Amino acid sequence: MRDEEGMALLTVLMLVGVMGALTAATLEVMSRSVAVTANSRASMQAHQYARGAALIAASRLEALLDQADGRLTLAGGWADTPFTVPTAGGSITVTLSDASHCFNVNALAPAAAGRPGMIDPLAARQFTALAESVGIGQRRAEGMTMSLVDFIDGDPYPQAGGGEDNSYAGYTPPNRPLAGVGELMAVLNWRASDYELLRPYLCALPTSEMQEMNINTMTEADAPLVAMLAAGRLSPARARQAIAQRPAAGWENVADFLNAPSPPISGEANIGQALGVDSDLFTADIVVDEGGFTVRETVLIRMDERGPQILERRWGAA
């Protein structure tokens, strides 16, 4: 009898233990579900805020360009200066930048119907000059240029010093415009040190055209970009000298900028067509902190007579 009572008690205790474990597991699942739901809501809200912030950025750019009246400068501290907008559950921080100060790597091999392997010789010379201006030797710079052209162009035929599919063991080059400059790390003949030297001056725009660079929003750090336009006939030091001599109100025209240093840049090469005193391409770096959930979006915005055009959105963790 006592054995039966003991077995019954043991059974009851086991049932209680099992029920307790099930209850704890259920509560844990419910807790996780609530947390996931809360995070999902915060994530959705943060992404909605980020999209709204892109519209705020575009509106600010419209006002900025209207005020600039064809000559945009750094006056007012609008560039690379974060501004924050509070929200009910956090904040939105937006940083505007002039996106014209870079070499568009996709301009090296513009896509053309029936000509998948076409190369832009001027862009190639300028890229080589840019690489040399940051300290890369001429022969190496030329090889890097051709490797990059082969990496982007749409044909299987390598340039002299370049490389197509057969040169990439276990990897197939994209043979298309790059989505981001980070892809350059996979290019044949490129070293990590080369990438680090060039990275501040490169961009991968969703177009095969070279954009006009605004001399009124440049800093002395952008001097290699001006030097590259002369394809080796202008030193970064002279380009830096010209940028440093910019009037407080900005240059009225490109000719004044080219004639600023002594001797003038204008006598070196015809580089004025790649420069301007206004901007139409901008980035808005947006960071949203909502309910402990943080998202980051970088938006590429083109401003023209039609108003703001969002060309590209990139999402990433802040």
Per residue in 54-101, pLDDT (tens digit) is 999 999 999 999 999 899 999 999 999 999 989 888 999 999 999 999
Dihedral sign (CA 61, 67, 70, 73): negative
How far apart CA 107 and CA 124 sit, in angstroms, is: 9
pLDDT of residue 44: 80
- What residue type is 182 in one-letter code? G
What are the φ/ψ torsions at residue 38 (nearest 5 degrees)?
Answer: -65, -45
Dihedral sign (CA 256, 262, 264, 269): negative
pLDDT of residue 318: 43
Angle value at C-alpha 304, between 298 and 310, nearest 5 degrees? 25
Kindly tell me if the per-residue pLDDT of 212 is higher than 50.
yes
Q: Which residue has the tokens 């057969």?
A: 166
Kindly tell me if the per-residue pLDDT of 20 is higher than 60.
no
Q: Which residues contact 105 (CB under 8 A, 6 or more apart)?
A: 127, 148, 152, 178, 181, 184, 202, 203, 204
| Closest-CA residue to 97 (of 280, 310, 283) | 283
Region 267-271: mean pLDDT is: 65
- C-alpha 116: how far from its chain's center? 26
- In the chain, what is the straight-line distance between the N-terminal and C-terminal CA atoms, in Å? 69
Q: How confident is the model at residue 116 (pLDDT cuts 50, 70, 90)?
A: low
Q: Both tokens of residue 147?
A: 């490797």
For the segment 287-303, what is each residue's pLDDT rounded down to a tens digit? 999 878 888 999 999 99
Say if CB 178 and CB 207 are below 8 A apart: no
Region 48-58: mean pLDDT is: 90
Q: Is 286 left (phi over 0), alpha (psi -120 to 50) or beta?
A: beta
Q: What is the pTM of this model?
A: 0.79
Q: Which residue has the tokens 């996931």?
A: 36
Domains detected in the chain: 47-99+280-316 (3.30.1300.30), 103-210 (1.10.40.60), 212-222+238-276 (1.10.40.60)
| Out of 167-176, 250-259, 292-301, least confident range | 167-176
Kindly tell me if the per-residue pLDDT of 9 is higher than 70.
no
Q: How confident is the model at residue 1 (pLDDT cuts 50, 70, 90)?
A: low
